[in-house]
Amino acid sequence: MNLSEMLNLEMPKKSSYGQRNTQFDLEFEPDTGTIWAWFNPTGTPCFSLGLLNDIRAHDNMLETNKGCVPQSGQLHKANYYVVGSNIPRVFNLGGDLALFILLIKSREREALAHYAKLCIDNIYPRIRNYGCPTMTTISLVQGDALGGGFETALSSDVIVAEESAQLGLPEILFNLFPGMGAYSLLARRIGMRAAEDLITSGRILPASKLYEMGVVDVLAKDGEGESTVRSWIAKNQKRRNGFQAVFQARQHIHPITREELDRITDVWVDAALRLEDRDLKMMGRIVRSQMRRMDNFAAKTPQAALAVAG
Amino acid sequence: MSFFIKLIETTDSERRALENLPKVHAMINHGLTLEEYQTFLHDMYHIVWNFCPIMASAASRCSDDFRQVRYRLYESIESEKGHEAWVFDDLLAVGGDAEKAKATLPSLPVQSMIAFNYNAVERVHPCSVIGMLYTLEVVSSVYGGRVATAISRAIGIPGPRGFTFLDSHASMDLDHMAKLTELVKTIEAPAAQQAIINATRVNFWLFGQVFSQPVFNQPATARAA
């Protein structure tokens, strides 16, 4: 019996909204005012330009509507914005490494900076709760969150992760670092020393370990991530205002500014352009291991096979 | 925003679609069977054989407004000419009938790719050739690095004989890609930009179709036999 069943919660109705045929599936649950957004990338589950643009298009709309979701001809206020993944056992594997190889070999500073800016254009509004102080953001991590995937998980107010999920920042393996917010967001949760340790070690840790470290807020049993989010929302419904104020206070105590994130991406671009052939070969090995991993998933689950086929 | 970024963005889904073909995954990670590699080299022979004439055709049609493209094509023709002999020798080295491959039409996707590129440079816009160059550079520089090793291991032929073409293109690409990017960034005319974007999309797609041939899609048991 999961937590929802124990609390005798009825599953609220969700309905799709937003544009069709994108890589970012959207549902809205009017009863609780919850947006459920699911990464649904074609191919390797990383932050491709297509996925980044689809997220940005939705989030722009959300900001323009001041945190409200259009449905059935009306605007509904969103209290929660949950982001998860439709790909089994993967939240997101981070940056599009094949694209990085292409841009680094092209020695294309402007294009690398453009990619980095697109990432920050997505992460920074989430850190700021899309300009809506009464909206709580939640990351639902039901599979591996690596590199930019981990950064995205960190950008929410609350991280709910299933026990078997693995999270980490492997960029150091190819002599780079995670430049789209990881340092700032981790330092805010666990301090600079521990943040640097995670970044420079490249260690991939289970969600349970990160829960002990204070990175993950809520640990869910495998397969119960979504019901755990629902339970968390239900449990804290009466104290929502207080929680949201705490999350706002967090931003005042450890503010993360757009300028800070932009400067770090400049460092990232410089570092990327200094990578040598052996580093790019290692990056290529990781691209291939991601491909193998998706092949293994595709062989095991029809859903993943469809995702791989795009 | 430079045209290079526009090209990357507008053709990203086609690049990723090629990257995500199961047969391309398999080739990158596990190589090819001998029959598949021979078929691949047969197709590559005809692509490489037509590469320089397509570039020459494009160069002859570039107006003075695109003289930088024309000069770049002269350089590319000079550096690429004769590479079909590498493919021919590789085919011989892995036991293929190179003379027959030379005399026989390539697969339908490769015939389409060659025909498309001649038509695009001659009837649409000579700068279309940049789309073909860009596609082939991306394929070799981003995905080609380990393919020769994977195939060599899979078919039990140690190399370097039999893999001259793949090996050379995987290692020579670093400057190629940077130079091509510089060239792409000089293209400002909207008609030329559109032609390059379309040619890139079509070439990525057709390259992926090469792996849709029956020989690349036999069940594992049939391949083993």
Query: CB A99 to CB B22 under 8 A?
Result: no
Quick check: B73 pLDDT over 60?
Answer: yes
Looking at beta carbons, which residues of chain B come within 8 Å of A50? 12-13, 16
Q: Quote the tokens at residue A210.
A: 């990160």
Q: Which amino acid is at B57?
A: S
- pLDDT confidence of residue A306: 42
Q: Quote the tokens at residue B195.
A: 């032609």
> Long-range contacts made by residues B54-59, C-beta under 8 angstroms, separation at least 24?
B54/B114, B54/B117, B54/B118, B54/B121, B54/B129, B54/B132, B55/B80, B55/B129, B55/B133, B57/B118, B57/B121, B57/B122, B57/B126, B58/B121, B58/B126, B58/B127, B58/B128, B58/B129, B59/B126
Looking at beta carbons, which residues of chain B come within 8 Å of A299? none
pLDDT average, residue stretch B69-79 = 96
A6 burial (CB, 10 Å; 0-12 / 13-18 / 19+) is exposed
Q: Report how far residue A229's alpha carbon sits from residue A211's, in angstroms, rounded to the nearest whole number.
A: 15
Total of domains in chain B: 1
The residue length of chain B stands at 225
Total of domains in chain A: 1
pLDDT average, residue stretch B32-59 = 96
Nearest to B145 among A103, A284, A292 (CB): A284
Task: Print the domain residue range for B179.
Answer: 3-224
Q: Quote the tokens at residue A222.
A: 């495998």
How far separated are the first and last CA of chain B, in Å rounded? 53
Most A CBs within 10 A among B177, B183, B184, hence the mutation to make, goes to B177
Q: In 3D, which of A291, A226, A275, A207 has the Cα closest to residue B24?
A: A291
CATH of residue A15's domain is: 3.90.226.10
Query: CB A310 to CB B177 under 8 A?
Result: no
> Long-range contacts made by residues A297-305, C-beta under 8 angstroms, separation at least 24?
A297/A87, A297/A88, A297/A89, A297/A90, A298/B22, A301/A88, A303/A86, A303/A88, A304/A87, A304/A88
Looking at beta carbons, which residues of chain B come within 8 Å of A42? 13, 16-17, 20
Low-confidence stretches of chain A (pLDDT beneath 50): 1, 3-4, 7, 9, 302-310
Looking at beta carbons, which residues of chain B come within 8 Å of A277? 174
- pLDDT confidence of residue A291: 81
B172 touches chain A (CB under 8 A): no
Looking at beta carbons, which residues of chain B come within 8 Å of A111? 2, 4-5, 8
Nearest to A105 among B1, B9, B141 (CB): B141
Nearest to B4 among A105, A108, A284 (CB): A108
Q: Are B20 and A309 in contact (CB under 8 A)?
A: yes
A15 burial (CB, 10 Å; 0-12 / 13-18 / 19+) is exposed
- pLDDT confidence of residue A305: 41
Q: In 3D, which of B15, B42, B5, B24 has the Cα closest to residue B144?
A: B24
Find the closest chain A residue to B150 by CA distance: A288
Q: In 3D, which of B14, B83, B96, B7 has the Cα closest to residue B47?
A: B83
- pLDDT confidence of residue A10: 52
B41 touches chain A (CB under 8 A): no
Q: Which amino acid is at A62?
A: L
Nearest to A43 among B20, B28, B174 (CB): B20
DSSP character string of A20-85? SS-SEEEEEETTTTEEEEEE--SSSSSB-HHHHHHHHHHHHHHHHTTTEEEETTEEEE-SEEEEEE
Query: CB B22 to CB A298 under 8 A?
Result: yes
Looking at beta carbons, which residues of chain B come within 8 Å of A101? 141-142
pLDDT, one tens digit per residue, over B53-62 is: 999 999 999 9
Q: Are A200 and A169 in contact (CB under 8 A)?
A: no
B12 touches chain A (CB under 8 A): yes
B29 touches chain A (CB under 8 A): yes
DSSP character string of B166-183? HHHHHHSHHHHHHHHHHH
Reading phi first (left if > 0) and then psi (alpha if -120 to 50, else beta), residue A67 is in: left
For tokens 């298009």, the residue is A57
pLDDT, one tens digit per residue, over A78-112 is: 999 999 999 999 999 999 999 999 999 999 999 99
Instruction: Give the CA distances from residue A255 to residues A40, A51, A62, A171, A266, in Å, rounded to whole numbers and listed in that order.
Output: 31, 27, 22, 25, 19
Find the closest chain B residue to A112 by CA distance: B5
Q: A–B: how many Cβ contacts below 8 A? A: 89
Find the closest chain A residue to B140 by CA distance: A102
Q: Are A38 and A84 in contact (CB under 8 A)?
A: yes
Q: Report how far residue A192's alpha carbon sits from residue A83's, in angstroms, rounded to the nearest whole number.
A: 26
DSSP character string of B9-63? HHHHHHHHHHHT-HHHHHHHHH---HHHHHHHHHHHHHHHHHHHHHHHHHHHH--
Q: Which amino acid is at A114?
A: H
B134 burial (CB, 10 Å; 0-12 / 13-18 / 19+) is buried
Q: Report how far residue A168's alpha carbon sits from residue A203's, in angstroms, rounded to the nearest whole number.
A: 6
Q: Report how far residue B18's alpha carbon sits from residue A291's, in angstroms, rounded to the nearest whole number.
A: 12
Query: Which residues lie closer than 8 Å to A261 by C-beta, 6 or more apart?
Result: A120, A123, A124, A180, A181, A184
pLDDT, one tens digit per residue, over B187-208 is: 999 999 999 999 999 999 999 9
Query: CB B19 to CB A42 under 8 A?
Result: no
Distance from CA of B98 to the nearest CA of A (A): 31
Find the closest chain B residue to A106 by CA distance: B178
Looking at beta carbons, which residues of chain A come within 8 Å of B211? none
CATH of residue B31's domain is: 1.20.910.10
- pLDDT confidence of residue A309: 38
Q: In 3D, which of A217, A200, A203 has the Cα closest to residue A159?
A: A217
Find the closest chain A residue to B139 by CA distance: A102
Query: CB B13 to CB A309 under 8 A?
Result: no
Q: Report how far residue A107's alpha carbon sits from residue A101's, in angstroms, rounded to the nearest whole number.
A: 10
pLDDT average, residue stretch B28-46 = 93
Most A CBs within 10 A among B3, B7, B25, hence the mutation to make, goes to B25
Q: Are A288 and A295 in contact (CB under 8 A)?
A: no
Query: CB A42 to CB B20 under 8 A?
Result: yes
- pLDDT confidence of residue B142: 80
Instruction: Give the CA distances from residue B123 to residues A66, B58, B62, B188, in Å, rounded to whole numbers and listed in that order.
Output: 50, 10, 12, 20
Q: Which amino acid is at B6?
A: K
The CB density around residue A66, as the number of other CB atoms within 10 Å, is 13
Nearest to A310 among B4, B20, B28 (CB): B20
Q: Are A56 and A121 in contact (CB under 8 A)?
A: yes
Query: CB B8 to CB A309 under 8 A?
Result: no
- pLDDT confidence of residue A15: 77
- pLDDT confidence of residue B67: 97
Task: Print the domain residue range for A126.
Answer: 3-309
Q: Which amino acid is at B116?
A: F
Query: CB B178 to CB A111 under 8 A?
Result: no
- pLDDT confidence of residue A294: 75
- pLDDT confidence of residue B220: 59
Return residues 122-141 of B near A (CB < 8 Å). Answer: 138, 141
